[in-house]
Amino acid sequence: MSSPSRSGCRRRRELLAAVLLAAALSACQREDRRFRTWPPAASAIPAVRQSELQPGPTTRDLTVRNEYGDNAWAVSEGKRLYNQFNCSGCHFQGGGGIGPPLMDSQWIYGSQPENIFATIVEGRPNGMPSFRGKLGNDQVWKLVAYVRSMSGLLAKDVASGRNDDMQVRSQEQSTEKARPVQSAVPPASQRP
């Protein structure tokens, strides 16, 4: 027969194993393929302020949660759409060229999901086309998730770990997260 202290030790070990197994279960969500869900924010385009000034007390807007921001499958779909819809035509594989780079920490129009959503849907001066009506909102949200993964803003287990094609950049998964910096809007002549 085991002594009381040994049985307590065993119980602790069992408890630890149960906790670890439960923790492993939580990882199942990241591959979940939701084909017919509408992210809450998908039907309405989030309103993004054009001005810092507000009437009354200045409040911060509630951030919009991107349903796809913690889903590895959606991020990889975003990666596929990024090339199929020719985002790579201007932003290349994130390093930028004709358009600004997406893999660095500089953000002209904001790094939050709703800012990137607005940038894609509304377009931006001097080159960024407006995709309003040309993309389904769920497709835009997948692109938003992928664009954020390029500069390490998503969890590592969600960001893509490999390319389907030739390797042209380091993996999104191994990109270190850098604090997003809101760069001042450059003069129109310099805007990308």
Q: Could you list the residues that contact other proteins (CB under 8 A)?
A: 33, 35-36, 84-85, 133-136, 138-139, 164
Give whichever of 34 and 177 is closer to other proteins, judged by the CB atom: 34
**Smallest separation (angstroms) from other proteins to the CB of 155:** 24
Two tokens at 21?
């197994």
**Smallest separation (angstroms) from other proteins to the CB of 72:** 15
Helices 137-150, 113-122: inter-axial angle, 10-degree rounding: 120
Give whichever of 38 and 61 is closer to other proteins, judged by the CB atom: 38
CA 14 centroid distance within chain = 37
**Smallest separation (angstroms) from other proteins to the CB of 113:** 19
**Smallest separation (angstroms) from other proteins to the CB of 105:** 30
**Smallest separation (angstroms) from other proteins to the CB of 70:** 20
Give whichever of 57 and 133 is closer to other proteins, judged by the CB atom: 133
Own/partner long-range contacts of 11-16 (Cβ < 8 Å, ≥24 apart): none
Give whichever of 136 and 161 is closer to other proteins, judged by the CB atom: 136
Residues in CB range of 175: below 8 A, 6 or more apart: 103, 149, 150, 151, 152, 159
Two tokens at 87?
């985002």
The DSSP result for 134-149, as a single string, is TS-HHHHHHHHHHHHH
Give whichever of 33 and 65 is closer to other proteins, judged by the CB atom: 33
CA 50, 140, 36, 76: dihedral to nearest 10 degrees?
-140
